Structure 1
Amino acid sequence: MVHVSSDDGKGKKGTRRMIIDATAGAIAGCVARVITGPLDVIKIRFQVQLEPIMGAPIDPGKRSKYTGFGQAMTTIVREEGLQGLWRGTVPGLLLTVPYTAVQFVALQQVRQAAAAYGLTANPGSAPLISLASGALAGAAATVASYPFDLLRTTLAAQGEPQVYRNMWDAARGIVSQRGPMGLYSGLGVTLMEIMPYAALQFGLYDALNAMVNEARLRHQRDMADAAKAAAAGPRGANPISRHHQPRQHESSSAPCEVSTRYPDPSASSSSSLSVLQASRLQAFACGLLAGLLAKLATHPLDVAKKRYQVAGLQRSLRYGARVEAGFVMRSLCQSLAYIYRTEGLMGLWKGSVPSIVKAAPSAAITFAAYDAVLAWLLVMSGEQQKQLQQQQNGKQPQSK
């Protein structure tokens, strides 16, 4: 029999937790990707459209094809069918699986490393750790999944007639035109975009959750103080109140003991369901707001990234002017300045409406689904078996 040391046990436990984090992240990302796919296609169409949307010239040859969110959706459905709203879904899912899996694993690993080095001992450093861990997790996930991001953008932007039939055709075409490194075209600007976005998204998510938890604890303390004051107020003033006081105190102070001796499954499940629903709602709301603010702040970088990715794509001219291949030769600052000079300030926020409409629910769905799937996987793997057993025995789980 092979003896397994405690260090090996810790290593296996850590590996198992990494697999669980990766699985939960991948499932959550796929759910969000399928639901918000049409919003992503509309966003990309706006971002690669060179003609100004606001104040476009009267010349029909330079009029923008897409002028608004609703108009863009109806135009795509009319010209390309309902499936046109899900262009690039396959590479999008292939992008999502490694991206979200690596992102959540890297996030947990960075946070564990920060705790191991004592960086979390100071409460004031919590926001910085959240920002740094989010940025590093976003960068690692981007490098691991970037070719799928490029292919997703190319297929979603091409319109009709199709330049590439499918993902593999697009990959072969890009490699033949630009070489293997063409699949990483725009990676630098993508990292410059995703790091502040991921930092803001995870940092704001943690900050918003902390604010909600603090407000809930404050409310619970206020309710407890009010209950104590109400119970202490009439004491001694009325004999009947004093006679009934012990029974009231016994009833209110020992619910756990009574429920342990005489368990009420309906009451227990109802209470657990209420707590679970509140937790899911909090994750959804905090993820929604965090995704919205992060995406709005970093949207100009996303516009520039999409231009790098489709530079040289020979799509039909009925979609407007093409992004010339020489666009990739500009630096990020030069690209942003060029967009501002030729398309105005609103050009830097092209597609911001579908982007925000997509980013907010996408982040909310991802965080909520991740929390739900992670909790289920931890229970199924036995990670929470001891805690559940302690709760069933009426004991509080010990904090590690």
Structure 2
Amino acid sequence: MVGWSTSHKNLNQFDFMVAGGISGFITRAICQPLDVLKIRFQLQVEPISENAHTAKYRSVPQAITLILKEEGVKAFWKGHVPAQWLSVSYGVVQYWSYEILVRNVSKNLDISPHWIPVVNFSCGSIAGSVATLVSFPFDVVRTRFVAQSEHKKVYHTMLSATIKIYQTEGPLVLFRGLWPTILQVGPHAGAQFMFYRMFHDLYNRISKSESTTFTSSVFAGSLAGLCAKTVIYPFDLVKKRLQIQGFGYAREQFGQHFTCRGLTDCLKKIYKIEGPWGYFKGLSPSLIKAVCTTALHFSSYEMICKFLVLIREKS
């Protein structure tokens, strides 16, 4: 199971990196359309409501229909290449660092069972923060691809987009929104790992089983994703708003453009213009995505680890 356990004793650091990278790739390939929907909602200043006639996107079904009509099915995989780089690099670093941290804590410290959730949360938070720092430029480029209009494309390839952002806006722009992201991802990753272990143990108690199965991983992962995403969602929205600053010229067909001068200014302007519910725009597709991606991420990681264990035992 995720975290130090006897089932992982034959796996080395490279195995954890491979499993994390593959699980990130699989999850991104399947769930990318949900991410596109979430980002489109997060970047919209106008209210998200069926009665908001000035808004471009008013509901999940309406948004799906409109994107298909205006941009075609390929639009749901906009920014997929940088998104894959983001997911693979994040998965590699996150699972590797988490497994190593938990393994060392388990070996070197006599931890009471009551403190296990705290250990999982702490190790998960550190792992998520390190993975975010490594993979963040891919997130900025991915967001720009999803945000741009099909009728006024600014970026065409990941490499050209990175070079253009670097040349016209400076290298630090590739890390714009990093601070709210760390504030978001640290607790989010920690909560994911903590809730995953808690729900996995709950499932095993109910089913009277001690093994890790695909079903137990999906059950624990989906609930962990739901709980963790709800808690940190406003920081995710603020991050997206910061990542498109200076990019309004490519979003003329998406309604009012949001401008701000940093984290504090962003939080104040969202509240002033959109009200407190503005911090939760796109929450519905985001929760759907969180349930699907977290369940898929953990279950695919677990199955890959089990497969690698079998290979180690046969070799």
TM-score by length of 1: 0.73
Larger Rg: 1
User: Shift of residue 345 of structure 1?
Assistant: 2.1
CA deviation after TM superposition for structure 1 residue 330, in Å: 2.6
Matching residue's letter, 1:132: S
- Aligned residue in 2 for 1:294: 228
CA deviations 1:41-82 (Å, max 9, x no partner) are 111011111112248766xxxx11011101111111111111
Q: Does 1:160 align with 2:92?
A: no
Over aligned residue pairs, what C-alpha RMSD do you find?
2.2
Counterpart selection for 2:59 from 65, 68, 71: 68
Range that drifts further, 197-206 or 278-287: 278-287
Q: How does 1:229-240 map to 2 (within 5 A)?
A: none
- Offset, 1:356: 0.9
Name 2:219's counterpart in structure 1.
285
Q: Read off the aligned partner of 1:337 and give its amino acid letter.
A: K
Return the alpha-carbon distance in structure 1 between the equivalents of residues 303 and 226 of structure 2.
Answer: 21
Write the distance in 2 (CA, Å) between the matches of 1:106 and 1:124: 23
Please tell me the residue identity of whatever aligns with 2:33: P
1:300–1:336 Cα contact (<8 Å) kept:
no
State the alpha-carbon separation in 2 of the partners of residues 137 and 37 from structure 1.
23
- Of 113, 123, 139, the match for 2:113: 123
- Does 2:196 match 1:205? yes
Structure 1 residue 15 displacement after superposition? 11
CA distance in 2, matches of 1:180, 1:51: 31
Cα distance in 1, alignment partners of residues 10 and 159 from structure 2: 33
Q: What is the Cα deviation at residue 212 of structure 1?
A: 2.0
Give the distance between the partners of 2:193 and 2:19, measured in 1 at CA: 16
Aligned partner (choices 26, 38, 47) of residue 33 of structure 2: 38
Q: Which ranges in structure 1 are unaligned for 5 or more consecutive residues?
A: 1-12, 221-274, 387-400
> How much does 1:361 deviate?
0.7
Counterpart position of 2:73? 82
* Residues in 1 aligned to 2:300 and 2:58: alpha-carbon distance in whole angstroms: 34
Kindly tell me the number of residue pairs found equivalent between the two proteins.
Answer: 306
Out of 48, 53, 59, the position equivalent to 2:48 is: 53
Find the aligned partners of 1:85 and 1:143 in 2 and give their Cα distance. 26
Q: How does 1:71-220 map to 2 (within 5 A)?
A: 71-120=62-111, 122-161=112-151, 162-217=153-208
Unmatched runs of 5 consecutive residues or more in structure 2: 1-7
Residue 331 of structure 1 and its aligned partner are, at CA, apart by 2.9
Q: Could you tell me the TM-score, scaled by structure 2's length?
A: 0.91
Q: Compute the displacement of 1:378 (Å).
A: 1.9
Aligned to 1:330: 262
Q: What percent identity do the matched residue pairs reach? A: 33
1:339 paired to 2:270: yes
Given that 1:315 and 1:322 are in contact with CA atoms closer than 8 Å, whether structure 2 keeps it comes out as no
Whole-Å separation in 1 of the counterparts to 2:55 and 2:165:
27
